[in-house]
């Protein structure tokens, strides 16, 4: 079963505001979808977002 996160959950994981997470989504940096009235992010999309921002040595 696939795992999903809300912007609030993601903001707590990364110590940023929910507004920052919504901004990432709005800019297209973080892929998300609406489930009824709620915004959700798939775990694989969150991992892709993190991989894109990983610092390369």
Residue 43 has pLDDT above 90, yes or no: yes
Q: What is the pLDDT of residue 54?
A: 82
Question: Model confidence at 57, in pLDDT bands (50, 70, 90)?
Answer: low
Q: Residue 9 is encoded by which pair of tokens?
A: 């959950």
**pLDDT (tens digit per residue) in 45-54:** 999 999 998 8
String of DSSP letters for 6-44: -HHHHHHHHT--HHHHHHHHHHTSS--EEETTEEEEEHH
For the chain, state the CA radius of gyration: 11
């Amino acid at each position: 079963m696939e795992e999903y996160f809300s912007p609030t959950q993601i903001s707590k994981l990364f110590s940023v505001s929910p507004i920052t997470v919504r901004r990432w989504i709005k800019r297209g940096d973080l892929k998300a979808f609406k489930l009824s009235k709620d915004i959700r992010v798939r775990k694989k999309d969150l991992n892709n977002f993190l991989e894109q921002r990983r610092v390369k040595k």
